[in-house]
Structure 1
């Protein structure tokens, strides 16, 4: 996967500014006059950062590791919300600024969250005491996964700097794990986390009360049958959560809750189980290799198939096949 930091243009690097200058020396007129052109947090110098990202409908998650004990700067302003989860963040010196809040010179903000609403300026610099590890989550205010009942795109979010919320932190760390293991994590799981994330952000913002209009009885019979049939017909495909929700004529959030009530497991886990059941049927055919079966049911390689099969069945595909004798 290409390193996003290495594709940064010279113009956008210039936006971040010269190293070590205090934030007070960066007047607004000197900053980017077209902030919407930047879709990721800019880091300068770019070579100090190792970045990895994954994207889904309406949001993107990115993990960033600072590789050297050298002073670096960062900046961001875009028409999307930004959630920052700092897993390791200790500095000898530095400042952080989120538009609408006072500057902070906090030295240790490990396990702290920051939320930058769409359009707000976020920038800072630091001389790291420990090598920084941080996860950025970029959320489209009009993303298709957001529950319509939330009116997420209309919420006037407040900026927050260096705070902690257990549920929001856990969701961010789950997204970090998805990025780190993107080859083996089911798409529907990541999208479900995105749905949860929008609700958590509205909750901590305190501006809107969530409306719990979901049916407590789960999916109707026609919805269960329609969704289950579709999954069977597309068991080898990476089916978006929004597609399944549309089949049931529900929002992704309400669909996920109702599906779990009806089937006992979330959609992504049900789909994964059905995929492994299909694999078991194919393993009975000795003419098909394990690699062929892996590709036929939607895995890119044998190792990811073997890991997924073991998680569901408790044994490897080869061991399962030997026990068929």
Structure 2
């Protein structure tokens, strides 16, 4: 049982995140600069203000700042918690590292510049700018990422089926309590589903799933039009019944894989509302909400830049943001 001091210290993290009202205020601003100035009292807003205040910038510059800020925040949280809780966060980070390592290896095999799919995990910290082959990659990888490469050397990278086999090999969720496992499973399985759909690959079998059944995964990965996905997953189980409502709201803007990622992050933060009964659960919730905050902020800045979908995003934030 955690002390009242520890509980208060962890809960204080949530006060540093952007609230529903602050996101709505950003969306009501007449420019990106005004939107950022409206959140300057929060850590992410202060970091962004440093950029717009000091020099010219592009939208991609702001995106990069947000990604770096979020990863630095995760690293800081890991440095403040005990080893057990750090391992929990590393397990969540590994969801993204597995996919990023797969992407890097796939790019190198095709003779392309290696790139990440998600700006998260230890892979985000790698300098891939000079990497042109497997040998160069191997020299810069920490031991735990080399293990992932070894697994892909065993299972191959030609088919995304290998990703779920690597997840199955890791089995990071085994020692999680059921509330944390539910959120972990939702993120992991949903991201894999998104990858199936974006690459138009539908594996015929899955060795390990957490929140999907085997048949549900096959059915979802076989969807031809992304706009049809919400109606397909609505009947799967209670988790995906509600998630389908969120996806429906997002896909009214556009049935895109980028908004699918936003939906996963938003709904994971909703699921994390149950993570309040131990300091380990609170640490995971802090991690999940931080990722969601970063992705929502990027989406809002993109909407302000284009001048599109402002009212739709306001409605989504009003309905689905947890703070």
TM-score by length of 1: 0.26
- Quick check: which has more Rg, 1 or 2? 1
Higher strand share: 1
Structure with bigger RCO (C-alpha 8 Å, 6+ apart): 2
TM-score by length of 2: 0.26
Higher helix share: 2
